[in-house]
Amino acid sequence: MPLLICSPSPDRHAAAKQCAPRDLGPKSLRVGLAVAAALYAAIVAADQAKYKAPSTIVALLPTYCMHQYVDDVDGPEYSTPLECGPGMNHYCPGLVKLHQAGRTVGNKRERMGLLERAKDDTEYTLKAMQNYPSCPLRKDVEATFLEIEHQLRLYNIH
């Protein structure tokens, strides 16, 4: 595959560049594509590394949720325990939606939508926790689920 490669002119004072077509072999093309794919994956991963939530809500979250919302936190207290399984990544976003629902005023539809999504996140977490009986956060997740159901009943959604 020919590619136009330009290099500076041998004369340092000349503004022109010397350009010539150069055939890059399949190996060079594969390496170039691999580098481009790795760069793209790194950009996507960086963009998805942290969840987004208003700082006033993040401040209300349990410490173990901080790894999902705050940069540069380090230590086991800032992450959900491994004994709870991989489904815990849905619990903190569910808490965010629950807090957001509590802040909606005069917009029942928005509140109900946030509560339903919080319920979905919490149900997902509870189902994923079934294989992790020693999870120390089980009671927190169950209490959150009951709170969401209570709020949904208050608004006659359930």
Structure tokens at 139: 């009671």
Q: Helix or strand or coil: residue 137?
A: coil
Is this prediction's pTM over 0.85?
no
Phi-psi region of 3 (alpha: psi -120 to 50; beta: other; left: phi over 0): beta
CA dihedral 146, 147, 150, 154 (to 10 degrees): -170
Residue 39 has pLDDT above 90, yes or no: no
Closest by CA position to 152, among listed 105, 98, 106: 98
Whole-number Å distance between alpha carbons of 80 and 152: 27
Residue pLDDT, tens place only, 51-88: 888 889 999 999 999 999 998 888 889 999 999 999 99
